[in-house]
Structure 1
Amino acid sequence: MTYRLISFTTDYGTRDGFVAACHGTMLWSAPHVSILDVTHEIPPGDVRGGALVLAQTVPYLPESIHVAVVDPGVGTNRRAIAIEAPRGVLIGPDNGLLPWAADALGGVDRAVELTESRWHREPVSRTFHGRDVFGPVAAAVATGTALTSLGGPIDPGDLVRLPDPLLSITANGLTAEVIAIDRFGNVQTAAPGSAATGLAQRLLVNGTAAKSGETFGSVETGKLVVLVDSADRVTIARNGGSAAESLDVRIGDMVRLTAAD
């Protein structure tokens, strides 16, 4: 099978030439592909943040190869891997970055360690596997190379997985970990959208007044609203402002939603 699209997600930023160099090693061997840059603004080394962005993005892309590199362990004994899922292939480090996205694409059908050096760019830099391993391997897969040719098999159960975010749902409300804060200051929680059905209309979020709603405009300007976002997560927003600033929360903090009455 061949692919015409490679998505690319990293913490490289765009100030340096890292992204362009990786594009080059993909296009060198697979000039027919288009490369879609998902983002290169994952905070440096934030594997969990990268995993979340990837998992919430890949379901909306055509069947593709997805290269993701947030890799503080590059050059160590962490494995370089490829995962085949029903709706795409994921390539990157075995540090927890890929499995949530694989789940979003239907689950892990097959996983291999990228040990077959003939598909790598030589010499392989110890600090730049995005350019010398992941990019060239993606190009090989895009041109029809089978995963079984890339290296030895990995038991899917042996893949590194990140711990699930914290969540507790009770009759009185819910307590959930903040898993993402977007550029608007919307506070995405670990609670699935289905948890919103049990919430009261008038709420306290860590003691601050809020209301349940369906849109940002469900409340007056400056007020907090609890809604289900486009990723089907319970999210706290502020109409016309930043909920994260209003609540003074960061990723990894816990928020408690309880009935105000």
Structure 2
Amino acid sequence: MTLPFASADERAGTSPYVSVTTDFGAAYTGVCAGVVARIAPDARVQVLSDEVSKYAVIEGAMLLRQALPYLPVGVHLAVVDPGVGTPRHPVAVRTGRGDFLVGPDNGLLVPAAEALGGVAEARILENPRLRLPTVSSTFHGRDIFAPATAHLANGVPLAEFGPELAPTPLELPEPRTGEGELSASVLYPDDFGSLILGAGPQDLAAAFGPLEYGAELEADGVRVRWAATFGAVPEGEPLLFTDSSGRLALGVNLGSAAARFGLSAGGIVTLRDIRRS
């Protein structure tokens, strides 16, 4: 997938841009946005999402990877942090495009950084002057990440935050392909109940060869049609399609594949060629 990069005019904007993505829900996310606004009152602060599924690091990482290339160059705060208060590091990452990504070092930030030109520099957020005066053990989004985001938006150099580190990559389950068969993990269900899979069209081709739209496969005993879009199958019928992120997905036209297949994040889907059955 070709991703857009910012123009010189966009980079030259005078009002810093900040995005916020969390699994907190509205209230706690609003607190983080408010901390950013107090420290960096000139920043434009946008909540990208406060509805990432609780503790779902992979889901949050995939959202950031898909969304951030379409947002202005800026500072992007992201917190999906089931390890809050443990020895995992708080980090800020500078990307090749010129953005900063701020959040926990648990794999959440790296796929988006790769989509934004790669990791150019990453540092641990340990400078006490660039945190809130009191840091809780359970709300680093408010006390560490939001202040760091604001200070970066204000132009504080990344080197002032702490020592360098190599950020932790996100571990994604690999698909398994065989002749006439493809098994892939469910990375997450989206808001419509479509199941986003840890496989791409290239894996489909490796398992089944060239497939024309309209071809039928079997997914865990259910016949599904390989289609370009939901409306290509009747209402209530399942389909296999390429999601806007470039990954394979199972959906149901005007329905929920999560409910139809009884699967959630971490589940396994096995696709088979019914012509070989």
Answer yes or no: is the 8 Å Cα contact 1:195–1:234 preserved in 2.
no
1:95 aligns with 2:97: no
1:43 aligns with 2:53: yes
1:170 is matched with 178
Answer yes or no: is the 8 Å Cα contact 1:49–1:180 preserved in 2.
yes
1:224 aligns with 2:219: no
Answer yes or no: is the 8 Å Cα contact 1:176–1:254 preserved in 2.
yes
Paired letter, 1:106: G
> How many angstroms apart in 1 are the aligned matches of 2:256 and 2:48?
24
Alignment TM-score, normalising by the size of structure 2? 0.87
1:161 aligns with 2:132: no
Task: Give the 5 Å matches for 1:201-220.
Answer: 201-220=215-234
- Compared CA separation, residues 65 and 217, structure 1 to 2 (3 A): same
User: What's the CA shift for 1:119?
Assistant: 1.1
Task: Give the 5 Å matches for 1:115-194.
Answer: 115-154=126-165, 156=166, 159-194=167-202
Identity %: 37
23, 28, 32: which one aligns with 1:11: 23
> How many angstroms apart in 2 are the aligned matches of 1:239 and 1:74?
39
50, 70, 73: which one aligns with 1:63: 73
| Deviates most, 248-257 or 68-77 | 68-77
Give the CA RMSD over aligned residues: 1.8
1:252 aligns with 2:266: yes
Structure 2 segments unaligned to the other structure (5+ residues):
1-10
- Compared CA separation, residues 65 and 161, structure 1 to 2 (3 A): same
> How many angstroms apart in 2 are the aligned matches of 1:47 and 1:202?
33
> How many angstroms apart in 2 are the aligned matches of 1:115 and 1:3?
26
Q: Secondary structure of 2:198's match?
A: strand
> How many angstroms apart in 2 are the aligned matches of 1:77 and 1:186?
35
User: What's the CA shift for 1:61?
Assistant: 1.2
Q: Secondary structure of 1:18's match?
A: helix
User: What's the CA shift for 1:171?
Assistant: 3.0
Q: Secondary structure of 1:91's match?
A: strand
User: What's the CA shift for 1:80?
Assistant: 0.9
Answer yes or no: is the 8 Å Cα contact 1:186–1:244 preserved in 2.
yes
> How many angstroms apart in 1 are the aligned matches of 2:15 and 2:132?
20
> How many angstroms apart in 1 are the aligned matches of 2:192 and 2:126?
42
Structure 1 segments unaligned to the other structure (5+ residues):
none
> How many angstroms apart in 2 are the aligned matches of 1:195 and 1:65?
34
